[in-house]
Amino acid sequence: SKRAPTATRHVRFSDGRNLDVALIYLGAGDLGPVDRKLIYHNQVDTSMTLTKFGRGICVYATGSGNTARPARADCGYLSVRLTPYDASATVIKYRPNDGKMASFGDSGGPDFVTDGYGNLLSIASVTSSGAADYLPGKPESAQWVTKEIRGTSAALLTIRDDIHRIIAE
């Protein structure tokens, strides 16, 4: 029989390390098979390819004035391969990849170190924030994004050991 996931523990990392990461323990952990990935054990660098995941907005807003139309929120899962332009132990920064994805992984999806064949090797970060252009005169919300300027992810390197300790508890 299927079981609904129930959050029974929540751990949040938000401190001077510029991280905004939450771990949520889902019930008894007996929700079926899980495709587990390790947390990347080195600092990401600007020569690496990462695959970002998320869901939500899938197109950009268009038009202007009375013809303005919001972006379409399809809640579908999205992914895109990107190379960071800057990376440290706590932050990974991206620029858009040919307009292939708005909002760089809405809903805080993970970023995976990816090999040349597209294989996901290990988790490097989670989506943290982004910067975008909006339609003039419209509210600054994802529905009115016309162009992504950059995205920032919280690298997991400095909290890797903490995550492993919490999972083992």
Of all residues in the chain, the percent with pLDDT exceeding 70 is 72
pLDDT at 24: 72
pLDDT tens, residue by residue, 35-61: 667 889 999 999 999 988 877 677 788
pTM for this prediction: 0.75
Quick: pLDDT tens for 66-82: 899 988 777 677 788 88
Say how far apart CA 134 and CA 132 lie, in whole Å: 6
Higher pLDDT, 21 or 38: 38
Pick the more confident residue, 165 or 57: 165
Give the whole-angstrom CA distance, residue 151 versus residue 96: 8
126 dihedral zone (left: phi>0; alpha: psi -120 to 50; beta): beta
- Residue 85 binned pLDDT confidence (cut-offs 50, 70, 90): very high
Least confident range from 26-35, 55-64, 137-146, 152-161: namely: 26-35
Residue pair 87/93 in contact (Cβ under 8 Å)? The answer is: yes
Please tell me the distance from the alpha carbon of residue 8 to that of residue 159, in angstroms, as a whole number: 21
